[in-house]
Structure 1
Amino acid sequence: MPDKIDIALVEPRCIAGGGDPSWITVALHRAGGWSYGHDPLMPRVLLSSPDQQALLRLEPDADGPWWRLEHTATDGQRAWSASFGARTPVEIIAGLTDALTVAETAPTSDPYEPLHRAGWRTDSARKAFVSPDGYVRIEHFTHSSGFWFARAALPTVAHGVIWQAHLSGETPPHLVAGFTRALADDTPLRRGLDPTRIPYYGTPHTHVTPCQVPAATVASALEHRVKDLTARRAGAPRPAPQPPETSPRRTR
């Protein structure tokens, strides 16, 4: 194995591509105790929460979202659901799934607060927020049972839409806040430097920073994430963060 590996740091994160699904599935299974059960001959993953109240489905669907999360009703909480398109970065979806797995520790569970803090523009008439670059819009519809709807879109893509996310109105606020925090985060996402791993549709709009990082850092990234979530779930001290990558130059 080489000592160093070429990777790409991609921004904005909303159009960095879906990424590795194991960032979510392995973390839920190993850190959250979610069990899996699926037919190995079917192209799908099914994960159930330890209390059997939540079910995550990941399966290819040409006409709908690839990620579906459903939670049954409990005492004091109505049933809720969330879905995400195939190209939704897993790091953004993980904002919600991590908050579902780990006890709430954030200073606020207000879904709007991360967007305000990140400088997203507001459309108060429609209860909508637009990212500073204009690529992402999230709206909160409050009529009837209400729901949250987010989408990433580019003018250079047919029909514009890259991915969509839908959170039912009953989704607990701290979970929505976990999603909006990940959505508003401007940290570049790590992707393989292979051009096929970086979505072609974002080329005119994406900043790609090639860099080399220790092979051990790449190999242990998921393991470190699992240990971090496990520690947070148990209330133990969190593992030391991994050393940041250096960014020698930026290209488009």
Structure 2
Amino acid sequence: MRQNKQWAGWGAAGQQAQQHYLVEPRHLAGGGDLRYVTEYLRASGWKDKSKAGGPVVFDSPDKSVRIGYDPFTQPGGWTISGKQTADQEAWHATCGRQTPVEIVAGITDALFKERKAHAPNMWEPLQQQGWETERGQHFTARSPDGDAFVRFHQSGPGQAHWWAGARNEHGRVWEVMFTPTTPMHLVQAFSTALSDPQPVMRPLGRVPSSQRIRTTSVSVLPSQLSAWQQARITAARAATWARNSFATNRTRTPPGARPYAGRSGRAR
């Protein structure tokens, strides 16, 4: 069902409004604009290693994580890979080409966030949004509409496999897979973004052809789109500045000074 709304907001007089659609559920909204992910990475200090006409490739400042998007291979899509470190085994996550960028960003944005003190629970966000769980050959959670799923299977110690996907009346739309070594806070961030009930915006011509989605037509000024995009970039830059500032101040802490206590209350 489509509704029409005039999107209230700011913008210079005389601007021509553009038609967009708010799409729900988000897991069937289509891939979206890659810049939702890549511009956040760029604003966070990641190095753009992409070659003209080739796949998108970004490396973290310390070169420990690489994020890429390749539309030229099959099945193609997003790859997020972490190198082995002193505290973490190498890990890998893949997201199909039609995985909504807002869900991919749930994983990539979490790379910049401080880990919480308590152990991650990736099922909790799903259960809070009414996803139903079932035990069979695999432990599975399904969205209220039945069109998206998250599955877990442990084949042995340290072999916890996570994968997820969505389908519409035409068949499988996308799939996401995590290696057993993927940090659990990233898997939880994915499940949080996946189950978020907020619709996502797609421009005219980029709305998937499916009877399983609900759309709301909105008129959006170019200045509004620019402002929303800039707000996300500004947030990334501010978070990066705060991390760098903290790291610099920590190295300058004089001997005997009281150590910083994080959210967990433990000294660092």
> Is TM-score (shorter-chain normalized) higher than 0.5?
yes
Contact persistence 1:82–1:167 (CA under 8 A): yes
Contact persistence 2:55–2:72 (CA under 8 A): no
Q: AA paired with 2:35?
A: S
Contact persistence 1:65–1:83 (CA under 8 A): no
Report the equivalent of 1:37: 49
1:1-252 alignment runs, 5 A limit = 2=15, 4-30=17-43, 32-40=44-52, 42-104=53-115, 109-125=120-136, 126-144=138-156, 145-154=159-168, 156-157=169-170, 160-192=171-203, 194=204, 196-200=205-209, 202=210, 204-235=211-242
TM superposition shift of 1:66: 1.1
TM superposition shift of 1:86: 0.6
Instruction: Report % sequence identity.
Output: 31
Work out which of the two has the higher radius of gyration on C-alpha atoms and give 1 or 2: 2
Paired with 1:108 and 1:67, the residues of 2 have a C-alpha distance of 26
Contact persistence 2:69–2:79 (CA under 8 A): yes
TM superposition shift of 1:58: 0.9
Moved more, 99-108 or 207-216: 99-108
User: Paired residues, what number?
Assistant: 227
3-state DSSP class of the match of 2:111? helix
3-state DSSP class of the match of 1:116? helix
Q: Deviations over 1:214-236 (max 9, x none)?
A: 43211222211111233344459
TM-score, normalised via structure 1 length: 0.84
TM superposition shift of 1:138: 0.7
TM-score, normalised via structure 2 length: 0.79
- C-alpha change, 1:106 and 1:62, in structure 2 (3 Å) is farther
3-state DSSP class of the match of 1:199? coil
Moved more, 57-66 or 121-130: 57-66
Q: Which runs of 5+ in 2 are unaligned?
A: 1-13, 244-268
Report the equivalent of 1:246: none
Q: Deviations over 1:120-159 (max 9, x none)?
A: 01013321100000010110122142221101012x21xx
- C-alpha change, 1:3 and 1:209, in structure 2 (3 Å) is same
3-state DSSP class of the match of 1:17? coil
Report the equivalent of 1:244: none
3-state DSSP class of the match of 1:134? coil
